[in-house]
Amino acid sequence: MKYFDEFCDASLVKECAQEINKIGDKTKQYNFMEFCGGHTHAIFRYGLNQLLPDNVNMLHGPGCPVCVLPGTRIDSMIELLKINSQIILCTYADLMRVPGQQGKSFSDIKAQGANIKMIYSPLDALEMAKKNPDKEIIFFAIGFETTSPSTAMSIIQAKKLKLTNYSVFSNHVLTPPAVKHILDAPSTSLNGFIGPGHVSVVIGLDAYKPYTDKYKQPVVISGFTPLDLIQSIYMLVRQVNNKTHQIENQYTRSVLPSGNLNAQKIIKEVFSIRAEFGWRGLGNIAHSGHSINEKYSIFDSEVRFNIKFAQEKEHPHCACGTILQGLKTPLECKLYKKVCNPDNPMGACMVSSEGACAAYFTYGGN
Amino acid sequence: MCLAVPAQIVKINDDLMAICELSGIQKEISIALIPEVQIGDFVIIHVGYALSKIDEDEARKTLEMFS
């Protein structure tokens, strides 16, 4: 695969790891957080943490939308499917096995006869609406700013096609408010962030400026291959050594400084920013979610079906909140591997393969 | 859902749709988010939408960082 295979070249990755060794100050501790779950997964999958010197420590942030989705939002959809047999729910495959607060997942209720379809794209949900005019199609939309524009486009398209049976249940979340939430934790020991490459493709570099300015944290926007990530860690070490806190772009082949202006315009057209939104493991975060603009409310499942949510309750011993803030590792959680595993996830970091606990479990993190 | 892949545009259809190719597999995707793309361009595909164009020169610079 062009633009992937050549960035997995082990000799290039090792060369960069040696450069980190060369410039790293042995008397210093470097604590960096990769925000994005895709980065967490890649770091473990390619064993990058094993190439780093002992004093360069990677912490795993909350950038996995499936992980941080409150279980109560899954419960609410399951309740709605029970009382309304006209609905076909379209969802990404990642969500199928995630249990809600009540312990049931979409897979469980599909096995009991609920009409749930796994889709790859919002375009598939639109197609479903065209083909089933007598059914109500709900798209369970989830993701950071990377997926928001595609969801928004589907609503614009549905309006153009005059579809009256398509609506979106928006669970879209925003990256910058979550970064702020982590940096606001009084005990944070972070020295820098790896910023999410594909979120930044959409939002651009300036969106991180308030955090580099206020919290004096270097940010490096990174691609997802092993070479991208190891280079980004090198760039962070260099910034810490030089005592700078700039927004650097490692992923220059895809990320423009301004982001994708067209996608930003489409997001603004369709979505509003909620006063607050719940994050599994982290609680409510101000201005961190996207709801559908009133102008498009006929396409908003929350309005159309009057969906209500219960307050999320975490397991009392679940350490996900502190893990997602980089304050603890999965090994310090009482539940990890004892009762909490990928088949029986108790908290946010285990529910998806991109969560920190699931990555530790799968690839033997220590 | 979070996985994005690089693919090449091989045909542009009506209504801002296009055919892209990845390792011999062809799929129809939307180019509504980057309508300026042309046949031959490599793009990042995410949930059925092309999100950005890949810049060949910048890709080479990344590969040559320490050389």
Q: pLDDT tens-digit profile of A87-130?
A: 999 999 989 989 898 989 999 999 999 999 999 999 999 999 99
| Min Cα separation A97/chain B (Å) | 14
- Distance in angstroms (rounded) separating the CA atoms of residues A360 and A341: 10
CB atoms B52 and A260 under 8 Å: yes
Q: According to the model, what pLDDT value does residue A116 have? A: 98
Q: pLDDT tens-digit profile of A196-223?
A: 999 999 999 999 998 888 899 999 999 9
List residues bridging with A58 in a β-sheet. A32
Please report which residue ranges of B11-55 form alpha helices under DSSP H: none
Percent of chain A with pLDDT over 70: 99
Provide mean pLDDT across the span B33-41: 97
> What residue in A sits closest to B34 (Cα-Cα)?
A262
Size of interface A-B (CB pairs under 8 A): 116
> What residue in B sits closest to A1 (Cα-Cα)?
B23
Residues B44 and B59 sit within 8 Å (Cβ to Cβ): no
| Min Cα separation A98/chain B (Å) | 14
CB atoms A228 and B62 under 8 Å: yes
**Residue burial A198-215, b: 16+ Cβ < 10 Å; e: rest:** bbbbbbbbebbeebbeeb
Chain B contact for A146 (CB, 8 A cutoff) = yes
| 3-class SS of residue B5 | strand
| Min Cα separation A91/chain B (Å) | 10
Q: According to the model, what pLDDT value does residue A365 have? A: 63
Q: Which residue has the higher pLDDT, A26 or A188?
A: A26
Q: According to the model, what pLDDT value does residue B30 have? A: 97
Q: Which residues of A touch B22 (CB under 8 A)?
A: 1
Q: pLDDT tens-digit profile of A307-339?
A: 988 777 888 899 998 898 888 999 999 999 999
Residue A19 is nearest to which of B23, B42, B66, comparing CB atoms?
Answer: B66
Q: According to the model, what pLDDT value does residue A247 have? A: 96
Q: According to the model, what pLDDT value does residue A366 have? A: 54
Chain B contact for A84 (CB, 8 A cutoff) = no
- In chain A, count H helices and then E strands: 16, 13
**Statement: residue A355 has pLDDT above 60:** yes
Tell me the range of A9-18, A326-335, A337-346 where mean pLDDT is highest. A9-18
Strands (E) across A49-101 are located at 56-63, 87-92
Q: pLDDT tens-digit profile of A62-87?
A: 999 999 999 999 999 999 999 999 99
Of A62-66, A224-228, A311-315, B50-54, minimum mean pLDDT range: A311-315
**Statement: residue B14 has pLDDT above 80:** yes
Chain B contact for A147 (CB, 8 A cutoff) = yes
pTM for this predicted structure: 0.94
